[in-house]
Amino acid sequence: MTKLPQVSGARLVRTLARAGFREVHRKGSHVMLVHTSDPTRIAVVPVHKARMLPPGTLRAILKGARVTDEELRSLL
């Protein structure tokens, strides 16, 4: 298992937008993103100022969005 990069929620939202996701819902500090060509790929990202996402949270978000570690690194 490779070590995940540290990213904030806001940066992850911007990165997933480059991967083809679009924001469909925002409530409080959580942003819901859905992939434009495959609506089953969903990501809910907590955006808390400049705080970095914990590794387990980031891994769970990537799993739901079906984005690999390598894809994330290339998009960052």
Domain regions of the chain by residue span: 9-75
Q: Which two tokens stand for residue 69?
A: 């570690």
28-57 confidence digits (pLDDT tens):
999 999 999 999 999 999 998 879 999 999
What is the C-alpha separation between 11 and 52, in angstroms, rounded? 9
Contact partners, residue 69, CB within 8 Å, separation at least 6: 2, 4, 62
Percent of the chain with pLDDT over 70: 97
pTM over 0.85: yes
Single out the residue of 25, 22, 26, 69 nearest to residue 41, CA to CA: 22
Q: What CATH superfamily is the domain 9-75?
A: Hypothetical protein. (3.30.920.30)
> What is the pLDDT averaged over residues 6-21?
93
